[in-house]
Amino acid sequence: MIVSRLADRLIPPVTVVAMLAALYLVFVAVPSDAYQGPVQRIFYVHMAMWLDTFTAFGIVGAASFLYLWQRTGRWDRLGRAAAELGLLFCSLGLATGSIWAKPIWGTWWTWDPRLTLTLILWMIYAAYLLLRDLAAEPGQGAVLAAILGVSGVVDLYLINRAVYWWRGIHPAVIATREGGSGLNDPLMRLTLAACLVAFFLLFLWLLRLRLQAQRLQDSVDDLRAVLAGHS
Amino acid sequence: MTDGHLPYLIAAYGLVWLGVLLYAVGLGRRNRKLEREVDELRGLLDRTGEGRPQP
């Protein structure tokens, strides 16, 4: 309880400071890429979107597995909250990638293995959220969504491996196909780290807010049920 | 590659911030609405409880 309250107080200001530091590094301190120029700076926010997406969908996978195993509502609620955030960051990851691709690849979209698998990932978790609204019974929707939530983890693994297994246009930057890192400048590595930390903190902040909404919704449902019993 | 690609950079960061901001504002509004609803329902439940005969 104390840790939770402390996190509620600390996460917002720390996130704001981390975000300002990340923005300073991205737009002022870090040098431009010799070949791509300033547009390469999209890389930092693009990577941050994927860290949040993978974290969110990883949480959905784990929570879905635990829900199927234990059938307790808390895992279902956690999975649902994380799926909503994952879909937000996955959409933004696809959008930033597309905006970056246009000047560098000359096209907004290409059916590269990693890009295609990522679009499938987006569809899996959009279906995960839709299933709940479309299912005849809430319990049935939660079980079907959990099955989808677990199976989505396979796609996460395939996305990670795609650049190494298949010949596509998408580069492997952090760990190149030849081994080693594609980021040689220490300031570029620092900027990437700052962006990842800042957007991970933002993810935690939003997840807590989303879980709070879920708890409030549960309270509303419980109170309505009690009132219905009174009348 | 030149600075002519600057609008792409602005568009990417602008879109991320717009997306996050819209989601956060929507979430904040949803939470405030739900908090009000919980307060109203609790008040209603208190009144209903008072109106019932004591055992």
Q: How many CB pairs under 8 A join A and B?
A: 95
Minimal Cβ distance to B34: which of A95, A100, A217? A217
Reduced to 3 states (helix: H, G, I; strand: E, B; else coil), residue A37 is strand
Cα–Cα distance measured from residue A72 to residue A150, given in angstroms and rounded to the nearest whole number: 16
- The whole-number mean pLDDT for each consecutive block of 10 residues of chain A, a chain of 231 residues, reads 82 96 95 88 96 97 96 92 97 97 93 94 95 82 93 92 81 64 83 97 96 93 86 67
Chain CA centroid to CA A68, Å: 22
pTM: 0.89
Supply the ipTM of this predicted assembly. 0.88
Kindly list the residues from chain A whose CB atom is less than 8 angstroms away from the CB atom of residue B48.
Answer: 227, 230-231
Contact criterion met (CB below 8 Å) for A135 and A141: yes
What is the reported pLDDT for B55? 46
Q: Which tens digit of pLDDT belongs to each residue from B18-39?
A: 999 999 999 999 999 999 999 9
* CB neighbourhood size of B52 (10 A): 8
Greatest CA separation for chain A: 72
Question: Where does A137-191 show beta strands of DSSP type E?
Answer: none
Q: Say yes or no to pLDDT of B53 above 70.
A: no
Tell me if A213 and B38 make a contact (CB, 8 A cut-off): no
Tell me if B15 and A95 make a contact (CB, 8 A cut-off): yes
Cα–Cα distance measured from residue A46 to residue A40, given in angstroms and rounded to the nearest whole number: 10
The 8 Å CB, 24+ separation contacts for A137-145 are A142/A67, A142/A76, A143/A67, A143/A68, A145/A64, A145/A79, A145/A80, A145/A83
DSSP letters, A60-107, are: HHHHHHHHHHH--HHHHHHHHHHHHHHHHHHHHHHHHHHHHHHHHHSS
Residue B20: closest C-alpha in chain A: A88
Contact criterion met (CB below 8 Å) for A170 and A115: yes
pLDDT band at B1 (very low <50, low <70, confident <90, very high): very low
Q: Say yes or no to pLDDT of B51 above 60.
A: no
- Cα distances from A4 to residues A9, A173, A217, A219, in angstroms, run 9, 36, 20, 19
- Alpha carbons within 13 A on the beta-carbon side of B27: 20
Q: Give the gap in angstroms from C-alpha A209 to the nearest C-alpha of chain B.
A: 7
What is the reported pLDDT for A48? 97
Tell me, what amino acid is at A207? Answer: L
Q: Give the gap in angstroms from C-alpha A107 to the nearest C-alpha of chain B.
A: 13
* CB neighbourhood size of A207 (10 A): 20
- Cα distances from A109 to residues A96, A98, A179, B1, in angstroms, run 11, 6, 27, 19
- The CA dihedral of A27, A118, A85, A149, to the nearest 10 degrees, is -160
Q: How many helices, marked H, and strands, marked E, lie in chain B?
A: 1, 0
Q: How many helices, marked H, and strands, marked E, lie in chain A?
A: 6, 0
Kindly list the residues from chain A whose CB atom is less than 8 angstroms away from the CB atom of residue B12.
Answer: 42, 45-46, 95-96, 99-100
